Amino acid sequence: MIFLTVIENDKELAGLDDAQVMVDVQQGNPAAFRILVERYKKRAYYLALKLVGDPDDAYDLSQEAFIRVYNARRRYDRSRPFYAWFYTILSNLAKNQVKKRAVRSEYAAQVRGAGGTQLDERESPHFIIEADETRKAVWAAIEKLSYEHREIIVLRHFEDMSYDGIANLLGIPLGSVMSRLYYARKRLRELLGDTHEG
């Protein structure tokens, strides 16, 4: 009898929108939190993968994002879409990871330049193991973009978000989205030109 009640409660929660589910999460309902994790775990993982490039890091970051959501549940503003709030948390984690990797990469280059031992090169992630050369070149170029430019390219071209959607998600004006995307694409073309010429 108790088991059937739990199933019915889960079904009821599954029918609610994110903000309504978050009300239950704020009240300490673990089933409600499971609903949100189920709704967004795949999307979170693949988005993190596109932003940081490493499958292990992407898994860790998506897990950490959910932990932070739960820990900050009381601060969630119901007037704001849940995914925008969640995305901000995940994006900040990804941005920090990319910065850490850049610092490690710079240090490794200094060690090599100083005549140190050759370090294992695992800093360039392999997004698609058996991809064709063009796709590899595109992803290699995307990895070289600044985080801001990488993010806008991922949201527009890999998440298929509209300009308005990106503006709402990032909390920036529509004009800034268009400008940022223009410069990101321009930089990507430059990097791809260097790749093909080199």
Any idea what the CATH number is for the domain that residue 131 is in? 1.10.10.10
State the total domains in the chain. 2
For residues 187 and 76, give the distance between their C-alpha atoms in angstroms, rounded to a whole number.
36
Q: Identify the domain boundary among 36, 70, 90.
A: 90
Residues 75 and 130 in one domain: no
Q: Identify the domain boundary among 90, 116, 147.
A: 90
Q: Name the residue range of residue 185's domain.
A: 126-198
Give pLDDT, residue 37: 94
Residues 84 and 15 in one domain: yes
For residues 98 and 125, give the distance between their C-alpha atoms in angstroms, rounded to a whole number.
12
Give pLDDT, residue 50: 92
Residue 194 belongs to a domain: yes
Give pLDDT, residue 136: 74
Pick from 6-20, 22-36, 83-97, 127-141: least confident? 127-141
Residue 119 belongs to a domain: no
Any idea what the CATH number is for the domain that residue 30 is in? 1.10.1740.10
Amino acid at 152: I
For residues 149 and 134, give the distance between their C-alpha atoms in angstroms, rounded to a whole number.
20
Task: Give the closest residue to 25 by CA, choosing from 70, 92, 87.
Answer: 70
Residue 111 belongs to a domain: no
Give pLDDT, residue 26: 92
The string of pLDDT tens digits covering residues 113-160 is: 444 444 344 344 443 333 456 677 788 888 899 999 999 999 998 888
Give pLDDT, residue 131: 43
Residue 115 belongs to a domain: no
